[in-house]
Structure 1
Amino acid sequence: MKFQPNDILPEYDVEAVEKLFFVRQDLSDLDEPSKQQLLTKLNSLGLKQTRYDNVQILLCTMHEARQLDESRFINDLFLPWFALRTKTGPHLERIARELSRVSEFEPGSVEEATHLVNIYRNQVADLFDPYMTLLVACFQFIEGKFTTLCDADLTNGERTKSEYLTKRINSLFTGETFLSGYDPLVRNAISHAGSRGITYLSDRVVFKNIKRETPPRIETVDWTFDELQKRILQLMESVVSIEAGVEIFGLDCSSLISADFSTQLNFAFHALSPQQVEEWKSRGEETLAKIRDADNADDQAKQEALSHMLFYNLRVRDMECIGTRFSSEKLAVCVDVPIIALDVDDDSQLLARLSDLIRYAILARSIFGEMYSEVLVTETSADRKQHRILGQFKGTELSDWIEEHAGIVDLLNNSAWSLDGKPLGVEVDFEKLSESELTSPDMPFPRYDAK
């Protein structure tokens, strides 16, 4: 199958990208290397006109959804999708490697067709579904039916998603789009290739979707080798188009993502790679280390400066704080927080509050570092005469959480708690927790006993 360069090489330039913006005006804040990096990604090999159309459809749909509820769209849909996208990364790389191997086979041979069928199977099974989830979620958001990205991803299978999107996209556009390469009958046939689902002929492949009944009912799709290659390119273009559209959308909405601290944290959690997160942490750690290690400041000056850093970090997270205290004998920093309305006899309310107090301890450890071996967090009245919940945390375990070697459940289980001056027993059933994680669609959080 042959294409002309004009058909497979998109030609986005800076002016063309700027015309796709809904929020920002231009790319004047980007340096030249960053602009060229962006254009290289947008102009990667693919189906030129389909990319233009797909990107336009995606951007219009995403911005229509965003304008309904900007914060919810970005925090509950757009940024969480990045986590889903990250999981597809190894599959995308593997499929790209397999595509590069096509030249190893004789053109038009059954061996080449077999290799291509396996690529198509992997594209549909590993890439098509999660990338279509973004579009499904956007349309659900517009229609007021969006709940969570997890629901949008897992409630329906790829065929149902395809049918759902076909109705909506066809109302906007009638040419080749994200869905052009997908055929549910072919998908079913290649999922059962060992059960007579595929027949290779000299110039074509016959896919048989076999309904297992008596007698078997068979639906047939007949693709030439050229048609098979075209479908593979269309599916790959769907992924590349969404990557391009997401890149433009994220750049367009960068000011919205950085507008408040919670969205910035959400961005770091979902969208940054582990290496990028480490770089982000390192920049903050360098500033804090200068204060902790300053030779020209005594302990009191360091305590005041670091306390101000703590108060700032708590404030941007909407976490109230009364103040800090220090114990040189116990080598401990104590963070005093307000007593809130709470039914201490309600285990769910109490557990939620203990989890909140752990967040205070983690922030204190991240700012004061190893200056203190323990962190105490105390619920207290404004005059500090009444106390309710006290949590006592080992600094090393807080550091383990920061380094993602331990989880909140470890800190709940291992820390010393008291309620109204009496010991409060908190014990996590790790066996039941492991069982529940096996049936959860989410990745388990780090913890000490995780295998």
Structure 2
Amino acid sequence: MSYKKYLRLNHSSFKHLTESLDIIEKESNENFSSKHTGELLIIEILNLFHSTFEANKHSFLTEIFFKNQKALRLTYDHQEYIFNQIDEIIRDRAPVNRTRQIQIVNLYRNIVSDLYDPYLSIIVACLKLKEATFNNFVETNLSTTEFQKFEYAKSRLQGTKMFAGYHSLIRNAVSHTGTHSISYDTQGVTFKKIKRSSNPEVTAVLQLTNEELLSNLRSMIDFITAVNASINIFGLDAKEFILENREIGESFISEFATTELCQAWREDANKQYLKIWSNASLSESAKHDYFAEQFTKGCVDRELKAKKLSFRKKDKIVLIEVPSKRVDMNNKGEVIYRIIELIKYCLVAEPLFHFQYESYVSFETEEMMADTLQVQIEGKYLKDHALLKSNMYNLLDEGQFFKNKILLNLSIDFKGLQEIESRSLTSKKLTKQKGRN
């Protein structure tokens, strides 16, 4: 039976998921030590995912599932290298010699340090969320060692087979190969835990045959492969739920959307919008009213308050009037933040009106004795942002900004922003992108 049997949320769409599920199954079985082992692990991991999802759907998806995926992407190059090395060992049927033993031991260390640790994080995060002790994924991923994660998860998953093959003693011994921690013979490898002091002593010993060592290594690969498969299966299963929930969908887009994906979404939307714009039975006024209503909904969804939408057809400009907001004009940070807010109105309008308009202006309602801000941005720059070819700081560089209808000279310290980003574990890439088409 195919991986369709693992779907629980999306029973109506088996057909269009079949091809994707078949690819997941094929790639997974290439890495599992056995198909049976893989299926048992997938069942256990998916059970954990679903129980956590039911406990708190929003937090599981936005704070664990999406964040973990982003962290795991950082391991993919390491994973490909390690898996290729293991494939080479498995294909080589020659007797295991000292060089091969050393290679297997070092691969074990690489698996634990490069892969096992971040893959344990999603298991631990799920358990913490169910126990109401979860704070955020960065903390779960980086605040403890892989051994502490292993101990935490194992204590709560009684009888689990997930963590077969993991031995902290091997990890520690391999990290100190020059201090009597490892010894080799033709039949296998001996790992020792050494208590460091003025009178050091061996406090634990683990002896593994060559076959047992390779088996432990493959068991950890089974776990990593099963987590990958389970993430992909659950992601497909929850696809409709994610897209039907605006806040969760926007979180997904923020974390994972690519230019290609955004382009596909835009093309789909264009097909629907063009049906309205090209409908000869509708008056121009009716068409504009329809899209004005869509614009209002988009603003409400994003908690943006708009007052009036008007159009300068001859100049192909959309005019967006918004309530004024008191800003300290001497505080550059406040001014920039307010301008970014005004840009967001233009970003909502551009996908709806680009069929007939080329430029977008958002401006604050004029008030007596109060300064107001205005923004004008060309549609082509807003489109680049929508397709992830640029970011907000590009728009700050490309737009025109006014105070009381007088051009405002706005300079951004991009170098300073880059330094801030380089120190952050969670920020998205915001600094100005160079060399865009």
Same-fold call, TM > 0.5? yes
Q: CA deviation at 1:150?
A: 1.8
The answer for unaligned runs of 5 or more in structure 1 is 1-10
Note the alpha carbon deviations across 1:265-313, whole angstroms, 9 max, x for none: 3233435565444433333345556777999999878755654554454
Q: In structure 2, what residue type is equivalent to 1:241?
A: A
Percent identity of the aligned residues? 23
The answer to whether structure 1 residue 95 and structure 2 residue 79 are counterparts is no
Q: In structure 2, what residue type is equivalent to 1:94?
A: Y
* Contact 1:322–1:338 under 8 Å retained in 2: yes
Structure 2 residue corresponding to 1:246, chosen from 231, 239, 250: 231
The answer to whether structure 1 residue 153 and structure 2 residue 141 are counterparts is yes
Q: In structure 1, what residue type is equivalent to 2:6?
A: V
Q: How does 1:17-32 map to 2 (within 5 A)?
A: 17=6, 21=8, 23-24=9-10, 30=16
TM-score, normalised to structure 2, is: 0.81
Q: 1:50 to 1:194 in 2, by over 3 A?
A: same
Q: CA deviation at 1:242?
A: 1.5
Aligned to 2:213: 228
* Contact 2:311–2:319 under 8 Å retained in 1: yes
The answer to whether structure 1 residue 71 and structure 2 residue 67 are counterparts is no
Q: CA deviation at 1:346?
A: 7.7
Q: CA deviation at 1:127?
A: 1.5
Q: CA deviation at 1:99?
A: 1.9
The answer for unaligned runs of 5 or more in structure 2 is none
Alignment size in residue pairs: 432
* Contact 1:50–1:176 under 8 Å retained in 2: no
Q: CA deviation at 1:180?
A: 1.9
Q: Distance in 1 between matches of 2:287 and 2:364?
A: 24
Q: Distance in 1 between matches of 2:27 and 2:302?
A: 35
Aligned to 1:363: 348
Q: Distance in 1 between matches of 2:432 and 2:232?
A: 37
Give 3-state SS (helix, strand or coil) of 1:106's partner: coil
Note the alpha carbon deviations across 1:15-40, whole angstroms, 9 max, x for none: x435xx3x455765656545644654
Note the alpha carbon deviations across 1:321-379, whole angstroms, 9 max, x for none: 33322335654322223446878888776655433322222233344448545321123
Q: In structure 1, what residue type is equivalent to 2:394?
A: D
Give 3-state SS (helix, strand or coil) of 2:96's partner: coil
Q: Distance in 2 between matches of 1:25 and 1:344?
A: 56
Aligned to 1:140: 128
Q: 1:322 to 1:105 in 2, by over 3 A?
A: farther
Aligned to 2:119: 131
* Contact 1:121–1:190 under 8 Å retained in 2: yes
Note the alpha carbon deviations across 1:378-423, whole angstroms, 9 max, x for none: 2338x9xx98432233444434433434322333455444456676
Give 3-state SS (helix, strand or coil) of 2:244's partner: coil
Give 3-state SS (helix, strand or coil) of 2:264's partner: helix
Aligned to 1:8: none
Aligned to 1:7: none
Structure 2 residue corresponding to 1:60, chosen from 47, 55, 58: 47
Q: How does 1:290-369 map to 2 (within 5 A)?
A: 306-328=291-313, 331-339=316-324, 352-369=337-354
The answer to whether structure 1 residue 122 and structure 2 residue 110 are counterparts is yes
The answer to whether structure 1 residue 202 and structure 2 residue 190 are counterparts is no
* Contact 2:193–2:205 under 8 Å retained in 1: yes
Q: How does 1:180-191 map to 2 (within 5 A)?
A: 180-191=164-175
Q: In structure 1, what residue type is equivalent to 2:54?
A: Q
* Contact 1:58–1:245 under 8 Å retained in 2: yes
Q: How does 1:402-421 map to 2 (within 5 A)?
A: 402-412=386-396, 415-418=399-402
TM-score, normalised to structure 1, is: 0.79
